[in-house]
């Protein structure tokens, strides 16, 4: 069996923070201890290698965050503004298959692992991490997240349809989805609540009366674990008239006696107590059902639709709910220009945000074009939320030929900053973007080196 250990190279490769000690400084000269508090006070961007930045943020006392979103390079081999083709030598893997895997994944794992560890240190125990990834690396990232966060803190592997037409150039299947891996820092304290009003479709409530739309749910408990032996008080007769729909716990003129039964005729139980039926008769309806054993009268609950109704989110997120890669490019074009190859749609990030409380601190340390910042601003404006955010992006020059390079951006983080400022201007024109960077620590003053005393040939040999 292939284990994570096969892919994680020696510790030397893991320590990848850029060489030389550094510290956080703000653009206007604030120093480390002060700068962390200042960054926490409003929308913030830190430029530099995220491994070093996360370490410095922790050391400087940046407050813990409740949501981390990352969209790291997927290791696709494509030309983007940033490196997306990490490959390494085969190492000492035992079989040709393992050698192939090692070549493909080792260096990527070595890049991701310490960054996930550094990110996890900044995550509050109520918090969660969402990681975007595609089929190239989902299996590797899942193992890596299992290792860093613990398999017990795994929450979900969501399928996200970001390319509904499908990639027609692919072999065999037209890939139309990627993944979001979701892990808790500590599942026992996690405040994730993935339900939404958006997922409730009024058309799922096909009936209508003077009080509005509703659907019919059997009042009978359809789970066979619940039956007259396990729940004797819930097995009792009701009285109903299928013509008028009227239901009562007491006999009335024109009513038939209805006892709960499963489709195969076995005795069942109701979901409501007799007292609850007596108090809520107007929410019940008697109807004829045509079961396997012929027609019979059964009792249904009128389950009503309201605009506030929420529904648990499915593990499949559709482009109609989250947008698509095409819509994300169009959004960015509109806001800033065609300056980044792989932005995520703002709606995807907004949907993620709604799964957590509305006053959380959000961290994205593979910020790219800064979609996370735009999503927080837009969502705060929509629901009056008080979310704060900090993004981290590299200072490296965009790769030649990439959209950012052609757009004249000297560094990828300049794209991030430009979009974050635009979004702030639109949503909170009086607020400003706090920007900090990693600056090298001054080297300690060196002792002047005394020239060595002249030594005889004999002395030198004996040294
Ligand atoms: C896939 S993009 C993120 C796109 C982003 N979600 C968006 O919607 O625009 C990944 C980003 O991570 C950045 N990145 C890669 N390695 C990094 C590192 N070590 N430190 C900081 N940023 C890094 C890349 O420059 C790139 O902009």
Give domain limits for the chain.
4-198+311-440, 202-304
Name the more confident of 456 and 184: 184
CA–CA distance, 119 with 68 (Å, rounded to integer)? 8
The residues facing 240 across adjacent strands are 247, 256
CA–CA distance, 345 with 350 (Å, rounded to integer)? 9
- β-strand pairing of 65-70 with 123-133: parallel
Give 243-289 pLDDT, tens digit per residue: 999 999 999 999 999 999 998 889 999 999 999 999 999 999 999 99
What is the per-residue pLDDT for 87? 62
CA–CA distance, 289 with 295 (Å, rounded to integer)? 5
Would you say residue 228 has pLDDT above 80? yes
- Whether the CB of 335 sits within 6 Å of ligand 1: no
Torsion angle of the four alpha carbons 189, 194, 195, 201, in this order, in degrees rounded to the nearest 10: -170
Please report the sign of the dihedral spanned by the C-alpha atoms of residue 31, residue 37, residue 39, residue 42. Answer: negative
- Three-state SS for 391? strand
Rounded to the nearest angstrom, the distance between the alpha carbon of 102 and the centre of ligand 1 is 23
What is the per-residue pLDDT for 271? 97
Q: Are 141 and 302 in contact (CB under 8 A)?
A: no
Rounded to the nearest angstrom, the distance between the alpha carbon of 143 and the centre of ligand 1 is 21
Lowest mean pLDDT among 84-93, 297-306, 356-365, 394-403: 84-93
CA–CA distance, 350 with 270 (Å, rounded to integer)? 40
Q: What is the average per-residue pLDDT within 450-462?
A: 48
- β-strand pairing of 195-196 with 178-184: unpaired
- Whether the CB of 323 sits within 6 Å of ligand 1: no
Name the more confident of 302 and 446: 302
Q: Are 66 and 122 in contact (CB under 8 A)?
A: no
Residue 31's φ and ψ, nearest 5 degrees, are -105, 170
What is the per-residue pLDDT for 261? 93
CA–CA distance, 47 with 54 (Å, rounded to integer)? 11
What is the per-residue pLDDT for 89? 58
Rounded to the nearest angstrom, the distance between the alpha carbon of 340 and the centre of ligand 1 is 11
CA–CA distance, 22 with 437 (Å, rounded to integer)? 10
Would you say residue 407 has pLDDT above 80? yes
Would you say residue 70 has pLDDT above 60? yes
Would you say residue 460 has pLDDT above 80? no
Query: In terms of Cα–Cα distance, which of 346, 398, 366 is closest to 72?
Result: 366
What's the pLDDT band for 293 if we cut at 50, 70, 90?
A: confident
Mean pLDDT, rounded, of the chain: 88
The helix-helix angle for 325-335 and 412-427 (nearest 10°) equals 70
HSE value, Cβ hemisphere, 13 Å, CA-based, for 129? 35
Q: What is the average per-residue pLDDT within 366-387?
A: 98
Would you say residue 361 has pLDDT above 50? yes
Query: In terms of Cα–Cα distance, which of 307, 262, 300, 297 is closest to 280?
Result: 300
What is the per-residue pLDDT for 413? 97
Rounded to the nearest angstrom, the distance between the alpha carbon of 408 and the centre of ligand 1 is 18
What is the per-residue pLDDT for 4? 39
What's the pLDDT band for 457 if we cut at 50, 70, 90?
A: very low
What is the per-residue pLDDT for 463? 33
Nearest protein CA to atom 24 of ligand 1, as residue: 82
The helix-helix angle for 371-383 and 412-427 (nearest 10°) equals 10
Mutate to test the pocket of ligand 1, among 107, 353, 368, 378 (most ligand atoms within 8 A of CB): 368
Would you say residue 461 has pLDDT above 50? no
Q: What is the average per-residue pLDDT within 338-344?
A: 95
CA–CA distance, 421 with 432 (Å, rounded to integer)? 7
Q: Which atom of ligand 1 is nearest to the CA of 340?
A: 9
Q: What is the average per-residue pLDDT within 196-214?
A: 90
Would you say residue 210 has pLDDT above 60? yes
Nearest protein CA to atom 19 of ligand 1, as residue: 49
What's the pLDDT band for 105 if we cut at 50, 70, 90?
A: confident
In this structure, CATH architecture of domain 4-198+311-440: 3-Layer(aba) Sandwich (3.40)
Would you say residue 19 has pLDDT above 60? no
- β-strand pairing of 65-70 with 361-364: parallel
CA–CA distance, 157 with 178 (Å, rounded to integer)? 10
SS (H, E, C) 220-236: ECCCCCCCCCCCHHHCC
Q: Are 29 and 375 in contact (CB under 8 A)?
A: no
Q: What is the average per-residue pLDDT within 167-191?
A: 94
What is the per-residue pLDDT for 153? 97
The pLDDT > 90 percentage for the chain reads 73
Would you say residue 456 has pLDDT above 90? no
Give 304-333 pLDDT, tens digit per residue: 999 899 999 999 999 999 999 999 999 999
What is the per-residue pLDDT for 354? 97
Please report the sign of the dihedral spanned by the C-alpha atoms of residue 141, residue 145, residue 146, residue 151. Answer: negative
Helices vs. strands in the chain: H and E counts, helices first: 14, 19
- Whether the CB of 409 sits within 6 Å of ligand 1: no
- Whether the CB of 50 sits within 6 Å of ligand 1: yes
Q: Are 269 and 228 in contact (CB under 8 A)?
A: yes
The helix-helix angle for 346-353 and 325-335 (nearest 10°) equals 100
- Three-state SS for 378? helix
CA–CA distance, 2 with 142 (Å, rounded to integer)? 14
Q: Which atom of ligand 1 is nearest to the CA of 49?
A: 20
CA–CA distance, 392 with 48 (Å, rounded to integer)? 7
Would you say residue 84 has pLDDT above 70? no
CA–CA distance, 451 with 203 (Å, rounded to integer)? 88
Would you say residue 5 has pLDDT above 60? no
Query: In terms of Cα–Cα distance, which of 200, 197, 163 is closest to 178?
Result: 163
Buried b (16+ CB within 10 A) or exposed e, 164-185: eeeeeeeeeeebbbbbbbbbbb
């Amino acid at each position: 069996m292939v284990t994570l250990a096969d892919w994680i190279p020696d510790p030397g490769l893991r320590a990848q923070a850029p060489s030389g000690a550094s510290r956080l400084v703000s653009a206007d000269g604030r120093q480390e201890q002060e700068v962390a508090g200042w960054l926490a006070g409003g929308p913030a961007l830190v430029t530099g290698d995220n491994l070093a930045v996360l370490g410095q943020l922790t050391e400087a006392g940046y407050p813990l965050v409740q949501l981390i979103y990352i969209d790291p390079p997927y290791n696709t081999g494509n030309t983007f503004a940033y490196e997306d083709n990490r490959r390494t030598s085969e190492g000492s893997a035992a079989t040709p298959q393992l050698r192939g895997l090692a070549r493909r994944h080792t260096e990527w794992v070595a890049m991701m692992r310490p960054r996930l560890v550094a990110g996890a240190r900044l995550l509050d125990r109520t918090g969660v991490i969402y990681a975007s990834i595609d089929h190239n690396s989902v299996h590797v990232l899942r193992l890596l997240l299992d290792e860093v966060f613990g398999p017990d803190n795994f929450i979900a592997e969501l399928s996200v349809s970001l390319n509904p037409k499908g990639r027609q150039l692919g072999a065999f299947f037209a890939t139309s989805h990627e993944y979001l891996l979701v892990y808790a820092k500590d599942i026992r304290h996690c405040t994730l609540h993935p339900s939404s009003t958006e997922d409730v479709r009024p058309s799922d409530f096909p009936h209508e009366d003077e009080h509005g739309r509703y659907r019919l749910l059997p009042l009978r408990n359809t789970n066979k674990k619940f039956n007259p032996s396990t729940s004797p008080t819930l097995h009792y007769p009701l009285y109903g008239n299928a013509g008028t729909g009227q239901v009562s716990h007491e006999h009335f003129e024109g009513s038939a006696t209805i006892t709960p039964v499963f489709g195969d005729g076995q005795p069942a139980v109701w979901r409501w107590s007799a007292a609850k039926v007596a108090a809520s008769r107007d929410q019940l309806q008697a109807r004829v059902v045509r079961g396997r054993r012929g027609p019979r009268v059964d009792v249904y609950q009128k389950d009503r639709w309201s605009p506030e109704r929420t529904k648990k989110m499915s593990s499949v997120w559709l482009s109609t709910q989250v947008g698509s890669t095409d819509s994300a490019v169009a959004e960015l074009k509109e806001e800033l220009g065609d300056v980044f190859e792989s932005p995520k749609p703002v709606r995807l990030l907004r949907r993620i945000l709604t799964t957590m409380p509305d006053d959380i601190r959000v961290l994205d340390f593979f910020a790219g074009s800064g979609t996370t910042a735009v999503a927080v601003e837009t969502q705060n404006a929509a629901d009056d939320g008080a979310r704060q955010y900090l993004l981290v992006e590299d200072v490296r020059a965009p790769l030649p030929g990439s959209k950012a390079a052609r757009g004249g951006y000297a560094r990828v983080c300049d794209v991030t900053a430009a979009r974050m400022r635009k979004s702030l201007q639109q949503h909170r024109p009086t607020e400003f973007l706090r920007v900090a960077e990693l600056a090298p620590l001054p080297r300690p003053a060196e002792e002047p080196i005394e020239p060595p005393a002249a030594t005889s040939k004999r002395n030198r040999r004996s040294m």
